[in-house]
Structure 1
Amino acid sequence: MSKQSQLLKGQRFRQALDDSGLSGAELARVLDLENDQNITNWKARGVPAYMVGEVALTLVVEREWLEGKDVPMRTATTERSSPPRTANGSPLYVLEPLAPWDSDTPLDDDEVELRLYKEVELSSGPGKVARTEVQEITGPKLRFSRATMRTCGVDPSNAVFATNSGNSNHPLILSGATVGIDTGMTRIIDGEIYAIDHDGHFRIKFLQRTPTGLKMKSFNATEYADEDYDFDQIMAQRVLILGRVFWWSSIRPLKGPSLI
C-alpha cells in the first residue's frame, strides 16, 4: 500500500469518526477492541481490511469510501438519519421524541396508572395538635410501562408513586423528584432504598438491619448522620416501611440550583 493511499484512508477514517460524534475510546469499546491504540493507528494509516466492514457499519459510511475508493461517503443505503450502529447492526443509541399526555389520554396496552401517596394533615379536633399521615390521594396518576415494572420485579397492583422532599439523598434523588414504590416489597434488603412512613412523615432512606432494629442511612451522608432505631423506638415512633423504591425521576428547571 502506498504512503498516499494510507494517508487518504486515515483521513477518511478521521472524518467518519468526527462526523459520528463518537470518541476514539467509545468506538474502541463498541468494536470490543482491547485498547484505543488501534484507533490512533487507523487515524494515520486507515482501517485494516479485516475490520473495515464493521467500522463502516458502525460509523454509517460506505465501505468502499472508507477503503479510499472514488465513491460517495454515504448513499441512500447508509441512511444517515439513523444513529451509528454496532458491529451486529443494532443502534448504538436511539433518540425518540417524548409523547405528551394528560388525564384524558387513554392508556396504551403496555401502560398502567400508579396511585399517588403523600403526607396528609389530619384534623384532631378543637384544641388538639393536628398530625400527618401518609395516605393515597384520589386524582393524580402516573403512567408507567408494564415492561419496565416487569424488569424491576414489581406487580403493577403494588406500585404507587410519591414526591421526595429535602436533600438528604442529594444528588442521587433530588428534592421534588418523583419516586416509584413497590408496596409489595417491605422486607429489608441491606443497602436498598425504601419509602417510609415515620410517624406520619414521608421519608426516603437506605435501610440496613441491625441486631436490635434498623439503621436509616442517607446518600448525603456529610449532612445527614445515620439513624439507629431499636424495636421499641420503631413501635413508639410508628415507623412503617411502605415499600422499596424501584424508580425515580427529576425535572431540571432552566434556572435550577447547581448540582455540584
Structure 2
Amino acid sequence: MNYLDKSQLPSLADRLNHAMSERNFSQEALATAAGCTQASIQKLSSGKSQKSRFLSAIARSLQVDVDWLELGVVPSPQPTSNNVYKLRPKDGTPFILGDLSPWDDSTPMDDDEVALPLYKEVEIASGLGKSSVQIDEGKKVRFSSYTLRKAGIDPTNAACATNTGNSNHPLILDRATLGIDKGMTKIIDGQIYALDHDGLLRIKFLYRIPGGLRLRSFNREEYADEDYSFEEAMEQRIQIIGRVFWWSTLNPLNSALLK
C-alpha cells in the first residue's frame, strides 16, 4: 500500500478512493467486506460525510492504517537499538514486530498457547461420493489464548478450517486458514460464517431475509447470491458452524493476479 500524506491526499475521501483503487475494490465490494451499506461508502468517498462508525472495519477491509484513513497520519515504524520496530496505535499500546519464529508439530507449546482443531470435508465410507464436515484429528493450528480472549473468543469454542476456491477472492484467498468462533452462530448481517452445507464446508457472508437467509460470496461477479427459506435450509442441511473471526494466507508468486 502506497501511503501518501495529507499534502497529496488532503481529505478522507481522497485517501479512501486512493486505497480502493490500490486494492481494486468497488464501493459495493468494500461495503460487503466492511459490513455496511454502499450508501455509506458513497457518502465517504464523495466527501459528503467525514465520519462513520464503520471506519475501522473499512480500514481493516482495505488493509490500511485507520489513523491514515481517518486523519491522514502516515504510519512510520521507529527502529530501536535491537532492530525491533514498534508501531504505536491510537490507544498507545506498542506492537512489537521481530523476526519470524518457525515451528512445527514437534515444537513444544508455550504456556499461553492453545492448539485449535481443524475442520475439513471427509468422504463418507458409503462410497456414494457424499462428504461430511468433521474435525481432522491429525491437524492443529496454534493460537495465543490471550489473543483469543482479547478478541472475545472463548478458546474452548474456537476452531479452524481451510478455505477452498475463489468464491471470496480477493478478500480470502484459496487455501487460507480461517479462525472460527463456534460460540457465535447467531446471524449478524454482513458477517462471515463457516457453514456445513450437507457435508460441504462453505465460507459465506450471511444475511437475514424475510422467512429465511441469504448466502453471499465476496466474489459476486462469479457467484450469485443464494436465498433459502428456513424450510429449504433445513432440507438442505445448512448448519452454521460459527463466525469467521480471522483468516490468514500465504501469497505465493504463482498466485492469481488481481485484474
Q: Report TM bin, short chain.
A: 0.5 to 0.7
Q: Which secondary structure state, in structure 2, belongs to the residue aligned with residue 103 of structure 1?
A: coil
State the Cα distance separating 1:253 from its structure 2 match.
Answer: 1.3
> Which ranges of structure 2 fall in alignment gaps of 5 or more residues?
11-65
Show the counterpart of 1:118: 120
Letter in 1 for 2:131: T
- 2:108 is aligned to 106
Matched AA of 1:101:
W
Q: Taking every aligned residue pair, what percent have the same amino acid on both sides?
A: 52
Aligned amino acid, residue 114 of structure 1: L
Amino acid at match of 2:227: D
* Corresponding residue number in structure 1 for 2:200: 201
SS, match of residue 122 in structure 2 = strand
Which secondary structure state, in structure 2, belongs to the residue aligned with residue 129 of structure 1? coil
Structure 1 residue 255, shift from structure 2 partner: 2.3
For 1:139 and 1:85, the matched residues in 2 are separated by: 37
Q: C-alpha offsets along residues 143-197 of structure 1, whole Å, 9 cap, x if unaligned?
A: 1011221132111111111110111111000111000111111111111100000
Confirm whether residue 153 of structure 1 aligns to residue 155 of structure 2: no
Q: How does 1:143-222 map to 2 (within 5 A)?
A: 143-222=142-221
Shift of 1:82: 5.8
Q: Does the C-alpha gap of structure 1 residues 110 and 93 become closer, same or farther in structure 2, counting only changes over 3 Å? A: closer
What are the Cα deviations for residues 74-124 of structure 1, in whole angstroms up to 9, with x where unaligned? xxxx849465877x9x79874311111111111112211010110000022
The 4+ residue runs of structure 1 with deviation greater than 6 A are: 58-61, 90-93
TM-score (norm 1): 0.66
| Equivalent position SS for 2:223 | coil
Tell which has more relative contact order, 1 or 2 (C-alpha 8 A, sep 6+).
Answer: 2
Is 1:83–1:92's contact at 8 Å kept on the other side of the alignment? no
Alpha-carbon offset, residue 249 of structure 1: 0.4
Contact 1:60–1:80 (CA under 8 A) maintained in structure 2: no
CA distance in 2, matches of 1:227, 1:185: 21
1:19-38 equivalences in 2 (<5 Å): 25=6
How far apart, CA to CA, are the structure 1 residues paired with 2:147 and 2:112?
Answer: 10
Shift of 1:225: 0.9
User: Are the structure 2 counterparts of residues 107 and 238 from structure 1 closer, same or farther at C-alpha, using a change threshold of 3 Å?
Assistant: same
